[in-house]
Structure 1
Amino acid sequence: MIDVAGRANRSMVRICSSMLSQLNALVNSPVTLSRYGLGRLMYLVNETLVTLDSQARSTPMSLSDHLSERSRAIDDIAERVNAIMGDEPAVTLARQLEPLVCELADALGNHALPDTVASRFGTVRLTDYLRANVIVVVDLSIDEFEIAERPAMTESVHALTQVLTERYPGHTIEVRIPPYAAVQVGALTAGPSHTRGTPPNVVEFEPQAFWQLATGRQSWSRAIEAGALTSSGVHAAETARMFPIVKIR
């Protein structure tokens, strides 16, 4: 068991803190969120509260597989969001959302939580489930305000780059998103076996470009045309085929 309120898992504390901070920034924004944005948040918070009470004992899937399952469920999620919204005006949805976020904060801060949960998308470690949620709230913040809080963006970029390393293990290409992350991945075709230092193939993204590519908002060619990424090395261009990482909407 993981006691978030105690000393236990620093990673869990960091994930919860970044998610709740971003949620509070959205809920307490002086600008009212769109109806669909509010509906997305209500769906996410409700699902998270249910999932926290759904301990599982079966083998959890990886973060990569969990995000793939979420990608496959985007149409179902959209239907559920629309059902939550109904015909309610944004002001009513906002009023309903605020106590739900407080309830979630209490649940994450005061309860002993399971290591593994049975989510709507399959059995997954709670840390990975919540990291996926951070990605969603960052995506929503970018949708609504074109910006996200630094801790949440950091956590979400770390999660997305972890998925790249899970899907494409190796050390042929270095993927950099300064100042957030730098990871090494394998080439899709035969590449050199690199064990020390910087690989001969490097791709560097502006953070906004990485996010747009990772979530399927932008194409590789457009990012290059905009000067939002640079690459060097014979295998660097293969990185284009690794995106998007997850489809959220």
Structure 2
Amino acid sequence: MPARTSDVRGKDVAALIDQLGVLVDWLAGLSEQEFGSPTVLPAWDVRTLTGHLLLIADGFAGILDRALADRRPAGRPLPAAILVTRYRREVDDIAEATAARTADKPHDQLLAELRAAAGRLDGLLASPLLPSTIQTPRGPGRLAEFVRTRVVDVVVHSDDLNRSLPGRQPVPIGRRPLAIACRTLADLLAEQHPGKSVEVRVPPYAAVQCGIGPEGPSHTRGTPPNVVETDPLTFLRLATGRMSWSDARAAGAVSASGQRADLSAILPVLS
């Protein structure tokens, strides 16, 4: 792997490439039968999910290729909190593109293409010529923020596969990728719902304040009147629509105190 800079973006890039590599290695250990197993994602088997990972890696590499070839400014970047909501409007298009990437390709071919795309992405992200703003399929965005949303993708799909094949050794999810995913989702939640009526805590990775309902008095010290706290994997699943608020509460996976400590109206952050 090329040497990484010591700035935050360099650490985010390393987390993305490392977790993607772990995921590819794990997929390579599956049998052909397991590759056809259903996943927790409706109508998707492991093969289709692998094709979606290929779409993510190859698509990002294509964005960077174009950014390096065309040095014109991409335009004023949109906030990440706006960009991620645009994916919900294009769910059918994304599913169609995923199917095209999969196209009944055998296990070995899909994995070889995914490994090649990950390597190409790694090399492109190491370029010192990349602009700070890139043109994404949903509009101009900051490269650093886009990298972090791709970390969310590979972490949540690692968890999807672990829940889909519980009898296998799970995909290892690195501490840094999980931390970046939780912080990114928490920040997006706060940006989409600004305010200080509720504090959302995901120890040890994130704590943000957001607004639910009419804004009441804010707090500056001590324990706020409305607090939601949960573990990283539960937050990941809640924020990406893998788990409902009611199911998480019923399972005792979330603690909530205060009249406004109910996130059901503002979840998921993205799906």
Q: Give the TM-score normalised by the residue count of structure 2.
A: 0.83
Deviating runs (4+, > 6 A) in structure 1? none
Say whether the 8 Å CA contact 1:66–1:122 is kept in structure 2: yes
Partner of 2:167: none
Give the distance between the partners of 1:95 and 1:57, measured in 2 at CA: 32
Say whether the 8 Å CA contact 1:169–1:185 is kept in structure 2: yes
Say whether the 8 Å CA contact 1:170–1:184 is kept in structure 2: yes
Alignment of 1:8-27 (within 5 A): 10-27=7-24
Give the distance between the partners of 1:134 and 1:26, measured in 2 at CA: 12
Give the distance between the partners of 1:53 and 1:93, measured in 2 at CA: 22
Structure 1, 125-134 or 194-203: larger mean CA deviation: 194-203
Letter in 2 for 1:144: L
Q: After superposition, what is the alpha-carbon deviation per residue over 1:61-93, rounded to whole angstroms, capped at 9, x for unaligned?
A: 111111101222222111111101112111211
Partner of 1:207: 232
Partner of 2:166: none
Alignment of 1:12-91 (within 5 A): 12-29=9-26, 31-32=29-30, 34-55=46-67, 56-91=73-108
Shift of 1:98: 1.5
Letter in 2 for 1:36: T
Shift of 1:119: 0.8
In structure 1, stretches of 5+ residues that fail to align are none
Letter in 2 for 1:240: S
Partner of 2:202: 177
Give the distance between the partners of 1:187 and 1:78, measured in 2 at CA: 32
Partner of 1:122: 139
- Residue 154 in 1 paired to residue 152 in 2? no
Shift of 1:187: 3.0
Say whether the 8 Å CA contact 1:52–1:114 is kept in structure 2: no
In structure 2, stretches of 5+ residues that fail to align are 36-45, 68-72, 164-170
Say whether the 8 Å CA contact 2:65–2:124 is kept in structure 1: no
Shift of 1:5: 5.8
Shift of 1:204: 0.6
**What SS is found at the alignment partner of 1:110?**
coil
Give the distance between the partners of 1:141 and 1:26, measured in 2 at CA: 7
Say whether the 8 Å CA contact 2:178–2:232 is kept in structure 1: no
Change over 3 Å in CA distance of 1:208–1:74 after alignment to 2:
same
Letter in 1 for 2:242: R
Number of matched pairs: 242
Say whether the 8 Å CA contact 1:171–1:199 is kept in structure 2: no
Give the distance between the partners of 2:234 and 2:218, measured in 1 at CA: 28
Say whether the 8 Å CA contact 2:54–2:114 is kept in structure 1: yes
Partner of 2:248: 223
Structure 1, 222-231 or 192-201: larger mean CA deviation: 192-201
Shift of 1:111: 4.1
Change over 3 Å in CA distance of 1:177–1:123 after alignment to 2:
same
Say whether the 8 Å CA contact 1:201–1:234 is kept in structure 2: yes
Kindly report the root-mean-square deviation, in angstroms, between the aligned alpha carbons of the 2 structures: 1.9
Query: Which of the numbers 121, 128, 131 marks the counterpart of 1:104?
Result: 121
Give the distance between the partners of 2:55 and 2:200, measured in 1 at CA: 33
Quote the sequence identity (%): 35
Give the distance between the partners of 2:48 and 2:174, measured in 1 at CA: 20
Q: Give the TM-score normalised by the residue count of structure 1.
A: 0.90
